[in-house]
Structures are given as C-alpha cells and as structure tokens.
Amino acid sequence: MVGGLLLGSEICVVVIVRGYTFLMRTFTRTARLSAVLLLLSPLATLPAFGWGSDGHRIINRLAGAALPAEVPAFLRTPAALDALDYYGPEPDRWRSQAEPELNAAQAPEHFIDLEYADLVGPLPRRRYDYIRALAVAQATHPDLPLTAEKVGLQPYVAIEVYERLQSALRDYRELVAAKQDTKPSEAEILFLAGWLGHYVADGSMPLHTTIQYNGWTGPNPHGYTTEHHIHGQFESVFVAANVKAGDVAPLVAATKPVALKDVFADYLAYLRRSNTLVEQAYQLEKQGAFGGAESTAGTTAGKAFVDQQLAAGAIELRDMIYTAWIKSADPVPAYHGN
C-alpha cells in the first residue's frame, strides 16, 4: 500500500509492504513533484525493502572486493564489482505488483521466522521436506500460521542459489580446461553471485529472522515499540542517510576468507547469530538509535550496530562465493537424466 502526507514543505511517501511501514521524505521541488506523481499513478509499484537498495549494494560490493586471489580474476575486476553492486537489490525488483505470480512465489524467500520454523525440530536441508514438516507442525499448533508463506523460506533459497553458483563455477573450470570461451559463463556467475548476495544480506538483518519483524508482538515487559516503523527505519531510512561502504570495509578486511565445510549448517548458524540480535535492535530503537520521524541521524550505537551487521553479511557472502569456487573443483558423478 502506498500513501502520502504533506508535512510543511515536505511530502512523505508512506509505503506498507508485508506489514512494514516506510516513511520516505522528499525535500526538493523535483522530488516532491515525483512523489506526487507516484501517489497519483495507478500503475505505481514499489519493491519490498531488505536492507534497502543501499545496504544490499554495500554488502555485495564489499564481499566482491574481499574475495581472495584464489578465485578467478574476472570476479575481482572493477566491472565485476559493479555487476555485484547492481545485482544486490535484484530480488526486491521482483516484488512488483506488475508481476503478481513472481511476487507471491518469492516473497517468503526474503525471511524466516525462526520462532515458528523451529517448531518442526532440526530444520531439514531441503525445501520440500521443510514444507512437509511445517504441515505436520501445523496439525499440532492449529492456532499458529505455519505455512511456508507465513514462516518463510530464507535459508532454502540461499542454499539453492549457492548451489547454482557452485555448478556454474564447475562449468567455468571445464571451459577453461577445454580452452573455450568463458565470457557467457562469467556473466552467469556474476549474476548468480549477486543474486545470492541479496539473500545473504537479508539474513544479516535481524528482523528478517523473527516474528518480531516490524513491531513487538505478544508479552512486552520492556515496552518495545509495537508500531510498524522499526523495520523500514532501521534497514532503509537510517542506512541510506548514515552508512557508506567505506565505513563497513575495515570490518570486513579484518577477517580472513574461510572455505566452509558444511554450507547449509554454517548458513543456519549465521541466521541464528542474527536472530540473537533481535532484542538488541528493539532496545536501540527505543533509545532513538536509528533516528525517527524528526531526524534520520540516530546515534553512534545505532551506526555501529548497522555497520556490524552489514559487515557480517559481506563476510558471509565472501566466504560462500569462495567456498563455491573451492568446492567446484570436487569431482561429481556423471548425470544420467531421463
């Protein structure tokens, strides 16, 4: 849903997606006019936000810049970094109501509500096993919304895209060995790495891992906000106003690339680390750390928290791309399809 408010000389565009509310101020005359046109247009569509475009671009670019020399050189060129940067927000571009089937199918892939997902026990490694496990849990908990659409599919799409990348890198190795043209393969790999980066970035945002994704629900002894503004203010408005890639880069550079032994297990651990920070995000919001309606400035604690999580996303993505390259050298059984 899109709406608008006139606040003095400013027009504020209010966007509600999956229950998230985003307030986007426009200051210049041109921007105000654009906002009015947006509000009036029956064709206007806006994507969902996951770190916002700025955060996704930062994570993808920093991950690419931190790749070790062992990966193919084409992945580390300025053009490659530009491609990774561009593809960072890509799945949010698929959230348009102009493509309703695509939007509906992939919307749950941006999040997972771990409080509900864990009702199935240890999370299965495969998407459809997980969906069946949710159906079993639903019978035990008829009062809870335990469909995949409501609980989310975040780790499954991340691993599936990771495996596409690993497969593409294996094909690239074969093309190099055969002395064949690798340019089409390189383009595919950059797209897949950028696509993967979107979901990895979503996983570093704590509110993408919880039922408390946009206002506290249930018992609330600490008086956290119940209004639907924290998600957008944290991941989009505050980041756009306060964070630059150069702020986050030293945190990424301080770590060394790691080849992951079990990518699925590592990725779940990564999501759970983000989930442990949900309450801290609410505490910071309560302190005005991410700014608010009157200001986007926030506090140094809010900035440090956001920088930390953007760096966590870039580190995880770097290590997944690096691991895909290492594992693409492993021999695989020949495929015998029907």
How far is residue 248's CA from residue 250's CA, in Å, rounded to a whole number?
6
Task: Give pLDDT, residue 159.
Answer: 98
Answer for the pair 17, 31: CB distance below 8 angstroms, yes or no. no
- Kindly state whether residues 20 and 109 are assigned to the same domain: no
- Report if residue 125 sits inside a domain: no
- Kindly state whether residues 232 and 102 are assigned to the same domain: yes
Could you give the 3-state DSSP secondary structure of residue 22? strand
- Report if residue 142 sits inside a domain: no
pLDDT in tens, 6-27: 333 333 444 444 433 333 333 3
Task: Give pLDDT, residue 293.
Answer: 77
* Token pair belonging to 113: 């509500």
pLDDT in tens, 81-128: 999 999 999 999 999 999 999 999 999 999 999 999 999 999 999 999
Please give the full DSSP string across 263-308, using - where no structure is assigned.
HHHHHHHHHHHHHTTHHHHHHHHHTTTT--SS-S---HHHHHHHHH
**Identity of the residue numbered 305:** F
- Compute φ and ψ for 305, nearest 5 degrees: -65, -45
Average pLDDT (242-255) is: 97
- Report if residue 172 sits inside a domain: yes
pLDDT in tens, 60-80: 999 999 999 999 999 999 999
How far is residue 265's CA from residue 91's CA, in Å, rounded to a whole number?
24
- Report if residue 134 sits inside a domain: no
Which strands make up the sheet holding 20-26, listed edge to edge? Answer: 2-7, 10-17, 20-26
- Kindly state whether residues 63 and 108 are assigned to the same domain: yes
- Compute φ and ψ for 251, nearest 5 degrees: -70, -35
CA distances from residue 96 to 44, 45, 91, 125, 161 in whole angstroms, order as listed? 9, 6, 10, 29, 21
- Kindly state whether residues 194 and 95 are assigned to the same domain: yes
Residue 59 pLDDT > 70: yes
Host domain of residue 69: 52-113+152-327
- Kindly state whether residues 169 and 217 are assigned to the same domain: yes
- Kindly state whether residues 298 and 231 are assigned to the same domain: yes
Answer for the pair 14, 5: CB distance below 8 angstroms, yes or no. yes
In percent, the amount of the chain with pLDDT more than 90 equals 80
Q: Could you give the number of structural domains in the chain?
A: 2
- Report if residue 251 sits inside a domain: yes
Task: Give pLDDT, residue 48.
Answer: 39
- Kindly state whether residues 88 and 34 are assigned to the same domain: no
- Kindly state whether residues 218 and 302 are assigned to the same domain: yes
- Report if residue 338 sits inside a domain: no
- Report if residue 138 sits inside a domain: no
- Kindly state whether residues 61 and 30 are assigned to the same domain: no
- Kindly state whether residues 26 and 75 are assigned to the same domain: no
- Kindly state whether residues 73 and 167 are assigned to the same domain: yes
- Report if residue 118 sits inside a domain: no
- Kindly state whether residues 280 and 316 are assigned to the same domain: yes
| CATH number, residue 313 | 1.10.575
